[in-house]
Amino acid sequence: MPARSGGTVGSELIKELESAHAPFRATYFSFEKAEAARARGITAAVIDYNRPETLRAAFHGCDTLFLLGPNVLTQTQLELNAVEAAKRVGVRHIVKLSVMGADEEEYAIALVHRLVEKAIEASGAAWTFLRPNSFMQNVVTYMNNAIKAESAFYSASGEGKISHVDVRDIVAVAVETLTKPDHVGKAYTLTGPDALTYDEIASEVSKAVGRLIRHISLSPADLKNGMLAEGMSAEIADRMLDLERYYREGRASHITHDIKEVTGRDPRRFAQYAREVAPSLQPA
């Protein structure tokens, strides 16, 4: 099975597939990363979503595909290219990493993923959709610098509660769905066990790092200005603001038991994750 590696989910998936001794082929966007993987004993290929021939070559001989596209404006089309390539070379099962609420299409990023889900459903391949809520790891990925430098982080989510989920729990579900036949035709909504506001997130981070961390609630306009100042494109910023609106309206607050149903284990709580990453959130 091919699995794209390099990002938060991809790199964790590679580790877990190795631990499970599952045969797989990892795909990368650069020759350097592919060579580094091969040096570790991983079967690796280089892909370019804009060059279907690289996708067909990477997917050739694989029964199952884990589809995880890049967060760019053209993500839908790039993933559609992958679906078409998988169809052309006879991939039989596609496990797609999607987002919570994709089936409802109530915010921009959900629509990005739902269009791909529909193409997979129409492709003739068996499918499984993983629809996680916001990653706990995003606290480090997107808020790390502000937490370290200012002891604060920012959002336009207001008092909206979010059932953040640990990427490791998402990957545990992914491994099950990639390696066992029981999950075809199923869509799993993956959440943590608690729905927390960002003020509550700040409180948990404060306990973990041993100093006060504040959540500063901004207007959507002010948050967008901050995103643009950091180099984000206006189009991607608008997508992210629409996600903030979804959070603000409380649409991401529900909690499911899908992780335990698939893996047999309870998902991690944010407090546990905060304690684990506390050293990386200390000032330089």
Sheet strand arrangement including 93-97? 44-46, 25-28, 2-4, 64-67, 93-97, 126-132, 186-190
- Indicate the pTM of the whole model: 0.95
How far apart CA 268 and CA 258 sit, in angstroms, is: 13
Cβ distance 93 to 128 under 8 Å? yes
Residue 127: CB atoms within 10 A of its CB come to 21
Burial of 219 (0-12, 13-18, 19+ CB in 10 A): exposed
The pLDDT, as a whole number, for residue 110 is: 98
The pLDDT, as a whole number, for residue 139 is: 86
The number of residues in the chain equals: 284
In whole angstroms, how far apart are CA 133 and each of 17, 160, 186, 193, 229?
A: 22, 13, 17, 11, 27
Per-residue pLDDT of the chain (284 residues; tens, 9 = 90+): 555 445 789 999 999 999 999 999 999 999 999 999 999 999 999 999 999 999 999 999 999 999 999 989 999 999 999 999 999 999 999 999 999 999 999 999 999 999 999 999 999 999 999 999 999 999 888 899 999 999 999 999 999 999 999 999 999 999 999 999 899 999 999 999 999 999 999 999 999 999 999 999 999 999 999 999 999 999 999 999 999 999 999 999 999 999 999 999 999 999 999 999 999 999 97
Closest alpha carbon to 173 in 117, 76, 256, 58:
256
Cβ distance 50 to 78 under 8 Å? yes
The pLDDT, as a whole number, for residue 196 is: 98
The pLDDT, as a whole number, for residue 2 is: 54
In whole angstroms, how far apart are CA 62 and each of 1, 50, 246?
A: 5, 20, 37
Domains, the chain: 2-132 (3.40.50.720), 134-164+191-253+268-284 (3.90.25.10)
How far apart CA 209 and CA 270 sit, in angstroms, is: 14
Cβ distance 127 to 167 under 8 Å? no
Closest alpha carbon to 165 in 135, 187, 202, 189:
135
